[in-house]
Structure 1
């Protein structure tokens, strides 16, 4: 039979024949992207870039007017023993003010004895000030103030100084992100290497996927720096890129190398084995990569710039990883030949008996094939049980003190301030623009706003007003009732927007008023995310269906893939809700439940998991279709596909789980939620879904798996076979493993020749 070619096979053959070109071309591309990326630098999102809705409009008004509000900071002076009227306490407050003023970085320093920022029990006082200069760089310049306060605190035994604000908070986040990123790099790589050593039992074979994955991440970071000039990115984007790059990069190489070694073990010569690996596993990698990239593109429908950055970063690293596995990997494998098994680890050498065991149906698979209905019901029930907590999932934009560990000093300061001075750390910010900010009617409107806001009980003192006369804009900071993010504060924000402002500020001539601030931002952010769920889900599900339909020419298999992937996502949601919202087992991941899931997490986890789950589905079902295309009946083809991929899917799944679990051990709450959610979902997907649910459902569906409506007969026929050249006939040992049209199979998965 004449061989059919596909893109993966053609790239694999070309790379093997032009090894130096492929290898040095890859190295040149990685170095060039890295150098260019470092030259231009990565462009980060500004505060205005994050916004959406009314809070986003308030930020844009300030940006368009060229107004940059200095970063606000707060020093909490606290004593368990002394009260604010004690001389020692007053001296501590004065020293704190002197320390801040002495740095030359502060402006508008407020003495709490003049502003009234003293707690009801008089054990706390707030020294409020702003950081001079650009607020976007304040976090980089706040350290001298921190040091000065630490030095001043040493002179007072019974008084402590705590600092929190826009600059301090951002510095804390950036420091934690940097530490977490470094920890992830130095933990995930050794863990992945350890698993690969167990999988391959050889140092060279284990190191090769890691090298390619790491170089793919390096290249993608350089490319991200270039693309960020057009679409700025969030500080977490590099970590997300590393997470995805290591996971998919190692997996794709693993698929490729395992298939090539499988063919070599079956007696193929190295050229034929590499060609078959390129045409089969290489093709699966290509389809999987495209599916993941397309799924990630769903984030563009969120309407949020931060998601656009995540989408671009993940798409870039996935496509680079696919390109590397389809070009430089075949070139290196061709160079190495059987030397890929060099560096054998004692005790990990896989014997022929072990390889033979791989070809026998496992007990679980045999049981699933014999009783598919029972295992389908049990598997679905278990997944639904895990997903059940998600019915009460609560999402919100986590505050600074929720993102960082509970024992973080700055986070503790923020919690204390919120408790004693509700709303003080994060007041609502009303941006008021009028035709003439100094006009009597405008001034009267501002005064009426103050009176009505305080009378309503929804806004508290001190209300701070900053007037920018040249721009005809007033910025009003109004502390809300409640703690700044609870139901009381949400009610106060709604009344401020819907009643107080329309009755006061909005009546001024040519007036426009928009409410920003942390709670307003969180409210608008969540609203935008909720409105984007339908378009994002519809795009990802629709495009995934079309890709699976095109790949396998079966709407049944496409629908099965979507349903099984949705079950994995639902289970991940359930576990995340149970751990991080309800606190079930939160101590096992080294955290304290914060009572909510980070608002962007569900949408991001859905997109990522849906893309990654397709990796395994394409890889497994491709092997099923290989066997079915060679004449095996449905039951035998399913058993063969599961058995042939069980080892590599389990290995790949364990690597992904290990990488994601590393992120679950980091300090940032967002990383913990992301790592735990992805690790649990991939673990379930690589084991329960692929080993139990997929085979049981495909056996139950029988011939329906391969049903194609007549009006879809025009779909192209894509081969899933070995596609070896006619000049490289299969050896006898391989022929026994590969049924042809004259062969049938037994229900236990063994391939038998008809007599």
Structure 2
């Protein structure tokens, strides 16, 4: 029987991977990312055939730049991926710029840019005394993908051996230590295949794999520990997994392709890990290893009020930096300068400052009003090369250069001025005109604004899930309220610690995603600790003794799981990608605080003080 279950699990993993690979991964398209006024402007432009086209810039300098420029133009013009090559432009400091426009949508350019970069490298090799280098959104995106892959590989090289060592210390056996690790790795493999299938419903925004690895290692090891170190852990594992999955599902309410991708990845890898933990783990015959009682947990029982006040005060102090939280959309301005295409962009901007970024004013009107619209927009920028009208005359787009950093206050003020004052004031004279402003600054402004708008809805759903899941499992309204409050306290302290350790703006996707994940993981420990305490109470022990017994049985498991999980998250702190690094910090700190402070100190102390009232309107016994 054991052999069949193990073989069945491995077959399931292989089938998931095979099914995913057979249908492939559907990447999110440009239109999937549109939010706010910027998204509305881009949709209007696309309707008129004036959407942003993918462009690459080749920057040339040195003694042979004339020959290199001619050769770049000739080689690029022959490529099937290229739609047009502009005439070269020379800067005041002696650089030459060649702009190459690719065929197809903006996001697909990353898949086709390799051919262009190959031609640039060939020309560079022919003229070594000159500098011939390429940049652009596609080149930078491709470079960031390579950097992300290298970061993940390095994280795995750190996380896997360290996790194995920690598990060996916990279990005292290398064989036993490999079981949680194998569950995590096979869960990641199966979830990766399932995520490819799911991408045809929820397009992959390019973050799914990162999340599957991050969460898969955490919950896979977590559930394996619950199984191997306790009896009858199956109900707790199932309840915990459902809690994590339902918490992640609240991200769908954000109405954003990136959050939908994050939610899908988290749900799939969590449910797969649960399935493995309740089916294949019992088949391994792994022995139960009971955590030894620790004197560390006796002090709160002796001085509960003092322990509670000190612990809550410490967490509130860690949370105070959240008052100054600033979020920003991570853009090319803050990308790692270790990516060659980003370095080239810096040199490009130094030579051609007007290419740093742009506002795009999109106007839709009756075709008969097109001349009037063009005249009005020409009053903003008279350059004919920046003003385009669609073939049907309904859509006109003006591109206005931005000389400031796209994430600077100056750029934000210029966007506000265009949207609130200049454009409405000028276009009000055009009957029936509809307008919106997009561009580089608008994209990184509207995205965080869209998240702030959806935050109350997601947060309300998350709190409701926490409350209802706790009430459903333990039949206690008091525990439901307590779970919500403690999760908020734990998550706030973890996010506040991030601001202490890493001052400055936080990636716009970080707070909400981590809030959801921390709530889910916190419920893991909440369910485990409370279930042990309730089991002790059902034997007839008074409340203080039940808490002490339940804590003795659960504290070692929870803290061991937290230490192992933290080793996984810490490995992400050493990556170059800012958002991934910030996620690693928050998750590592959050798990440690939740396990060592909230679940084995604050929660049991409150339960001891509440006594039988903690189970209202039900009872622990019966």
* TM-score, scaled to structure 2: 0.92
Q: 1:434 to 1:386 in 2, by over 3 A?
A: same
Query: 1:447 maps to which residue?
Result: 375
1:690 aligns with 2:583: no
Query: 1:11 maps to which residue?
Result: none
- How far 1:200 sits from its partner (Å)? 1.2
Query: 2:75 maps to which residue?
Result: 102
- How far 1:45 sits from its partner (Å)? 0.8
Residues 3-32 of structure 1, C-alpha deviations (whole Å, 9 max, x = no match): xxxxxxxxxxxxxxx545533432332222
Query: 1:85 maps to which residue?
Result: none
Residues 550-603 of structure 1, C-alpha deviations (whole Å, 9 max, x = no match): 2222222222222222122112211222333x2xxxxxxxxxxxx311111100
Distance 1:525 1:517 in 2: 12
Residues 82-127 of structure 1, C-alpha deviations (whole Å, 9 max, x = no match): xxxxxx67x53663464254233452424324xxxx36xx366644
Residues 626-646 of structure 1, C-alpha deviations (whole Å, 9 max, x = no match): 111111122222222222122
1:27 aligns with 2:10: yes
Distance 2:430 2:74 in 1: 38
1:603 aligns with 2:512: yes
Q: 1:64 to 1:317 in 2, by over 3 A?
A: farther
The answer (yes or no) to whether the contact 1:77–1:159 under 8 Å persists in 2 is yes
1:640 aligns with 2:571: no
Distance 2:10 2:46 in 1: 42
Q: 1:373 to 1:406 in 2, by over 3 A?
A: farther
Query: 1:402 maps to which residue?
Result: 334
Distance 2:591 2:562 in 1: 6
The answer (yes or no) to whether the contact 1:99–1:145 under 8 Å persists in 2 is no
Distance 1:331 1:289 in 2: 20
- How far 1:702 sits from its partner (Å)? 3.2
2:582 counterpart (649, 673, 680): 673
Alignment map for 1:57-206 (pairs within 5 Å): 57-64=40-47, 69-77=52-60, 92=65, 95-96=68-69, 98-104=71-77, 105=79, 106=82, 107-113=84-90, 118=91, 122=93, 126-153=97-124, 160-206=131-177
The answer (yes or no) to whether the contact 1:572–1:678 under 8 Å persists in 2 is yes
- How far 1:534 sits from its partner (Å)? 0.7
Distance 1:391 1:478 in 2: 35
| Partner SS, residue 478 of structure 1 | strand
Distance 1:718 1:610 in 2: 28
Residues 119-161 of structure 1, C-alpha deviations (whole Å, 9 max, x = no match): 6xx3666443322444333223223433444454567788645
| Partner SS, residue 103 of structure 1 | helix
Distance 2:362 2:389 in 1: 10
Q: 1:444 to 1:471 in 2, by over 3 A?
A: closer
| Higher Rg of the two aligned structures | 1
Query: 1:301 maps to which residue?
Result: 253
The answer (yes or no) to whether the contact 2:373–2:396 under 8 Å persists in 1 is no
2:468 counterpart (538, 546, 553): 546
Query: 2:229 maps to which residue?
Result: 258
Q: 1:330 to 1:360 in 2, by over 3 A?
A: closer
2:220 counterpart (226, 237, 249): 249
Query: 1:228 maps to which residue?
Result: 199
Q: 1:553 to 1:474 in 2, by over 3 A?
A: same
Q: 1:110 to 1:467 in 2, by over 3 A?
A: farther
- How far 1:452 sits from its partner (Å)? 2.9
The answer (yes or no) to whether the contact 1:401–1:412 under 8 Å persists in 2 is no
Query: 1:386 maps to which residue?
Result: 318
The answer (yes or no) to whether the contact 1:77–1:124 under 8 Å persists in 2 is yes
1:649 counterpart (548, 553, 558): 558
Residues 495-540 of structure 1, C-alpha deviations (whole Å, 9 max, x = no match): 2222333344565465433322222122221111001111111111
- How far 1:360 sits from its partner (Å)? 4.2
Residues 402-422 of structure 1, C-alpha deviations (whole Å, 9 max, x = no match): 23x233332233345556655
Residues 210-264 of structure 1, C-alpha deviations (whole Å, 9 max, x = no match): 22222211111111111111110111111101111111011101110111xxxxx
Distance 1:526 1:462 in 2: 33
Alignment map for 1:40-59 (pairs within 5 Å): 40-59=23-42
Q: 1:205 to 1:473 in 2, by over 3 A?
A: same
Query: 1:429 maps to which residue?
Result: 360
- How far 1:467 sits from its partner (Å)? 3.6
Task: Give the count of matched residue pairs.
Answer: 618
Distance 2:131 2:500 in 1: 37
Distance 2:143 2:357 in 1: 17
Q: 1:35 to 1:506 in 2, by over 3 A?
A: farther
Give structure 2 stretches of 5+ with no counterpart.
Answer: none
Distance 2:310 2:334 in 1: 37
The answer (yes or no) to whether the contact 2:494–2:587 under 8 Å persists in 1 is yes
Q: 1:239 to 1:359 in 2, by over 3 A?
A: closer
Query: 1:319 maps to which residue?
Result: 271
Distance 1:27 1:513 in 2: 56
Distance 1:233 1:20 in 2: 36
Q: 1:185 to 1:98 in 2, by over 3 A?
A: same
Give structure 1 stretches of 5+ with no counterpart.
Answer: 1-17, 79-87, 260-276, 341-349, 455-460, 583-594, 720-755
Residues 287-322 of structure 1, C-alpha deviations (whole Å, 9 max, x = no match): 111111111111011111211121112111111111
Q: 1:423 to 1:555 in 2, by over 3 A?
A: farther
The answer (yes or no) to whether the contact 2:144–2:339 under 8 Å persists in 1 is no
The answer (yes or no) to whether the contact 1:434–1:472 under 8 Å persists in 2 is yes
Distance 2:454 2:34 in 1: 15
Distance 1:97 1:435 in 2: 43
Q: 1:433 to 1:93 in 2, by over 3 A?
A: farther
Residues 653-697 of structure 1, C-alpha deviations (whole Å, 9 max, x = no match): 112111111122222111101111111111111212223222333
1:291 counterpart (218, 233, 243): 243
Q: 1:200 to 1:560 in 2, by over 3 A?
A: same
| Partner SS, residue 202 of structure 2 | coil
| Partner SS, residue 436 of structure 2 | strand
2:521 counterpart (605, 608, 612): 612
Q: 1:67 to 1:187 in 2, by over 3 A?
A: farther
Compare 220-229 and 415-424 and name the one that shifted more: 415-424
Q: 1:431 to 1:252 in 2, by over 3 A?
A: same
Q: 1:166 to 1:407 in 2, by over 3 A?
A: closer
Distance 1:162 1:577 in 2: 37
Cα RMSD between the aligned structures?
Answer: 2.8
Distance 2:3 2:351 in 1: 67
